[in-house]
C-alpha cells in the first residue's frame, strides 16, 4: 500500500514537472527577444550584430569592419542582422529573410521586397522590426556589394495590400512582417530609399 | 484529495498544455504572404 502511494506520488511529480516545462516553453520564448533587446539597449550590448554597420561606409572605420560575404540585411537600430534567402515558396522564410520572388534585387534597382517571420518558435528574424525609426539606416549586402537605405516610411497595412510589392522608379527597399506581435492580423511595412551604392 | 485523483487532474492539465504547445507552435505570429 505504501509502495503504491509512492508510485502515484512519483507519477504526479513527473507530470507536474512536465506541465511546468511545457508552459515555460510556450510562454518564455515569445518574450525573450524583446527582453534581450531591452537589456542590450540599456547595457549597450549588441550581441546580434556581428558586423558593426552603424553608419554610412564613408564615416565608418574600415579597418575594424569586416564585410560579410553572404547576402545579408542589417538594421543596427533594431539589432537585426540576418541572412537573405531566395526561393520560390514561403518555406524560404524558415531559413532567413526572404527576398520575395518577382520583385527586384538591390543591384537591379526598383523595389526590393523582404519578408520575415515576426515570431515563431524556430525563428524570430523580424521580431524587432517595430523598433526601426524614420531615417534609420539599413544596410544590405548583396553579392559582395553594400547598399545603404534610409527609412522613409513605417506603416501598418492589411495582408491584402499587395501593392507594397509594386515596382518603383527609384531604388527602394520594402521590408515587412506581421503585426501586432504574435499575430498575423496585419503587416508592418518599412520602406527605405537607396542612399549609397558600392561601386 | 487522493494521489489518484491528483494524477487524473494532472494528466488532464498535461493534455491541455500539450494542446496549447501545438497551437502556439502552429499559429503564433506565423507570416502568411
pLDDT, tens digit (0-9, with 9 covering 90-100), for B1-33? 688 899 999 999 999 999 999 888 877 655 555
Domain count, chain B: 1
Compute chain B's Rg from CA coordinates. Answer: 15
Within 13 Å of residue A100, how many CA atoms lie on the same side as its CB?
A: 20
- In a domain, residue A89? The reply is yes
Compute the residue count for chain A: 199
Contacts of B33 in chain A (CB under 8 A): 90, 93, 98, 100, 115
Per-residue pLDDT reduced to its tens digit, A31-50: 999 998 998 888 877 644 44
Q: How confident is the model at residue A94 (pLDDT cuts 50, 70, 90)?
A: confident
- Full residue range of the structural domain in which residue B18 is found: 1-28
Answer yes or no: is pLDDT of A82 > 80. Answer: yes
- In a domain, residue B7? The reply is yes
Closest CA to A164 of A133, A197, A188: A188
- Full residue range of the structural domain in which residue A139 is found: 51-197
**Contact in structure between A47 and A80 (CB atoms under 8 Å):** no
Q: How confident is the model at residue A64 (pLDDT cuts 50, 70, 90)?
A: very low
Domain count, chain A: 1
Contacts of B19 in chain A (CB under 8 A): none
**Contact in structure between A83 and B16 (CB atoms under 8 Å):** no
- In a domain, residue B14? The reply is yes
Residues of B with CB under 8 A from a CB of A: 3-4, 6-7, 10-11, 13-14, 17-18, 20-21, 24-25, 28-33
* CA distance, residue B7 to nearest chain A CA (Å): 5
Per-residue pLDDT reduced to its tens digit, A126-153: 999 999 999 999 999 999 888 999 999 9
Q: Using CA of residue A127, residue A32, residue A93, residue A67, what is the dihedral sign?
A: positive
Give the pLDDT score at A8: 86
Ramachandran sector of residue A62 (left: φ over 0; alpha: ψ -120 to 50; beta: rest): alpha
Which residue's C-alpha cell is 492539465? B13
What count of other Cβ atoms lies within 10 Å of the Cβ of residue A48? Answer: 17
CATH of the domain at A79: 2.40.260.10
Give the pLDDT score at A58: 43
Give the pLDDT score at A53: 47
- In a domain, residue A129? The reply is yes
- In a domain, residue B33? The reply is no
| Cell matching residue B24 | 502556439
Higher pLDDT, B10 or A183: B10
Instruction: Give the integer Cα–Cα distance in Å for A175 and A66.
Output: 25
Answer yes or no: is pLDDT of A160 > 60. Answer: yes
* CA distance, residue B19 to nearest chain A CA (Å): 10
Contacts of A9 in chain B (CB under 8 A): 3
Contacts of A22 in chain B (CB under 8 A): 14, 17-18, 20-21
Q: Using CA of residue A66, residue A67, residue A72, residue A77, what is the dihedral sign?
A: positive
Instruction: Give the integer Cα–Cα distance in Å for A127 and A81.
Output: 12
- In a domain, residue B10? The reply is yes
Answer yes or no: is pLDDT of A123 > 90. Answer: no
- In a domain, residue B12? The reply is yes
User: What letter does residue A136 receive in the DSSP assignment?
Assistant: -
Query: How many helices (H) and strands (E) are present in chain A, helices listed first?
Result: 2, 8
Amino acid at each position: 500500500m505504501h509502495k503504491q502511494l509512492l508510485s502515484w506520488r512519483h507519477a504526479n511529480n513527473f507530470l507536474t514537472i512536465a506541465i511546468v516545462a511545457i508552459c515555460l516553453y510556450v510562454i518564455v520564448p515569445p518574450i525573450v527577444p524583446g527582453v534581450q533587446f531591452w537589456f542590450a539597449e540599456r547595457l549597450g550590448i549588441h550581441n546580434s550584430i556581428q558586423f558593426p554597420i552603424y553608419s554610412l561606409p564613408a564615416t565608418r572605420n574600415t579597418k575594424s569592419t569586416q564585410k560579410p560575404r553572404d547576402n545579408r540585411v542589417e538594421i543596427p537600430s533594431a539589432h537585426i542582422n540576418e541572412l537573405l534567402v531566395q526561393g520560390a515558396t514561403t518555406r524560404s522564410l524558415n531559413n532567413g529573410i526572404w527576398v520575395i520572388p518577382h520583385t527586384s534585387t538591390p543591384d537591379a534597382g526598383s523595389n526590393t521586397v523582404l519578408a520575415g517571420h515576426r515570431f515563431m518558435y524556430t525563428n524570430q528574424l523580424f521580431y524587432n522590426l517595430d523598433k526601426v525609426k524614420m531615417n534609420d539606416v539599413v544596410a544590405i549586402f548583396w553579392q559582395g556589394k553594400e547598399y545603404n537605405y534610409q527609412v522613409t516610411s513605417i506603416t501598418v497595412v492589411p495582408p491584402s495590400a499587395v501593392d507594397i510589392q509594386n515596382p518603383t522608379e527609384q531604388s527602394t527597399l520594402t521590408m515587412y512582417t506581421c503585426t501586432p506581435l504574435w499575430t498575423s492580423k496585419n503587416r508592418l511595412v518599412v520602406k527605405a530609399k537607396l542612399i549609397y551604392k558600392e561601386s | 484529495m487522493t494521489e489518484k485523483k491528483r494524477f487524473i487532474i494532472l494528466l488532464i492539465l498535461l493534455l491541455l498544455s500539450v494542446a496549447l504547445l501545438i497551437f502556439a507552435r502552429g499559429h503564433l505570429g506565423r507570416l502568411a504572404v
